[in-house]
Amino acid sequence: PISAAPRMRSKADGRHDVLMLVNDVSEWRRLERMRSDFVANVSHELKTPIAAIRGFAETLLDGDVDDEAREKFLRTIYEESLRMGNLVSDLLELSKLEASDSHVDPVAVDLYEVLVRAVDRVRPVAQSKDISIELPRPQRLHVWAEPDLLLQVFLNLLTNAIHYSPPGSQVCVTWDVLVDRVKVHVKDNGIGIPRESLSRVFERFYRVHKDRSRASGGTGLGLAIVKHIVTALGGEVGVESEEGKGSDFWFTLSRLDARP
């Protein structure tokens, strides 16, 4: 709040209040800038597929197109509409998360069971690239989470690991059981991330590999969603990666039997 209630105070106190006021104003400006950047980004992200869809549809309507070009244009229209669909679902997911931030009510969740559900969902895409997914051995390990949100975290990390890896490679999920937490890793032998981008990949709409993200229908929001969910569940996220070698995305969650 931008208010400094008037009261009797010493000079030093007054200076403190002014400082707090300045801090509040700059924090407010920062949030305001973030909000308008976000709206600008969303508009830009939507404009690109809309322009492509409109352009190709116009060409098709003009009529003078052979069968091969028609097929190509229709495919682009279809793919761009899928991308718009993904973007809208991711935006809805983020806004739902923001609205319910303080209301996430963690329950005991079987980590292995949720992982298997996620792997079953991504298996067809992995198989289409001949990528194998290695899992930890089956283990009854309960963490504090929300099943659907945890599923989303696994889906986003596994989908990325598959998209940013070459055909025939391997994606590997492991975890370390620590005293109070579990640290889960999703590792790939893919294209990796340059060092200077590592601190930014969890930002909304930040992409390292723009063309590849586009080609796979990526929205640039997957990792922002992962970070949001894990933070709301009281955990941490991070990534280690080497260009050309692969990436190790990790997150932590509290263990069931270690809650205070």
Candidates 233, 202, 244; CA nearest to 101 is 233
- Of the pair 235, 246, the CB lying nearest ligand ADP is at 246
Written as six digits, the tokens of 198 are 């590592």
- Of the pair 241, 254, the CB lying nearest ligand ADP is at 241
- Of the pair 131, 253, the CB lying nearest ligand ADP is at 131
Nearest distance from C-beta of residue 66 to ligand ADP, angstroms: 34
Nearest distance from C-beta of residue 16 to ligand ADP, angstroms: 41
- Of the pair 118, 256, the CB lying nearest ligand ADP is at 118
Nearest distance from C-beta of residue 129 to ligand ADP, angstroms: 13
Nearest distance from C-beta of residue 86 to ligand ADP, angstroms: 8
Cα separation values, 129 from 101, 123, 133, 159, 257, Å = 36, 10, 11, 12, 39
- Of the pair 84, 161, the CB lying nearest ligand ADP is at 161
Q: Are 241 and 247 in contact (CB under 8 A)?
A: yes
Nearest distance from C-beta of residue 19 to ligand ADP, angstroms: 37
Cα dihedral 193, 196, 200, 202 in deg (nearest 10): 30
Q: What is the C-alpha to C-alpha distance for residues 113 and 124, in angstroms, rounded to an integer?
A: 19
Please report the DSSP string for 32-84 in residue order. Answer: HHHHHHHHHHHHHHHHHHHHHHHHHHHHHHH----HHHHHHHHHHHHHHHHHH
Nearest distance from C-beta of residue 222 to ligand ADP, angstroms: 3
Please report the DSSP string for 180-217 in residue order. Answer: SEEEEEEEE-SS---GGGGGGTTSTT--SSHHHHHHTT
Nearest distance from C-beta of residue 235 to ligand ADP, angstroms: 18
**CA angle, corner 14, sides to 10 and 20, nearest 5?**
145
- Of the pair 156, 254, the CB lying nearest ligand ADP is at 156
Q: What is the C-alpha to C-alpha distance for residues 112 and 137, in angstroms, rounded to an integer?
A: 9
Nearest distance from C-beta of residue 147 to ligand ADP, angstroms: 21
In the numeric block, the tokens 């051995």 are attached to 137
- Of the pair 152, 219, the CB lying nearest ligand ADP is at 219
Q: Which residues bind ligand ADP (CB under 6 A)?
A: 156, 160-161, 164, 188, 190-193, 201, 206-209, 213, 218-224, 247
Amino acid at 239: V
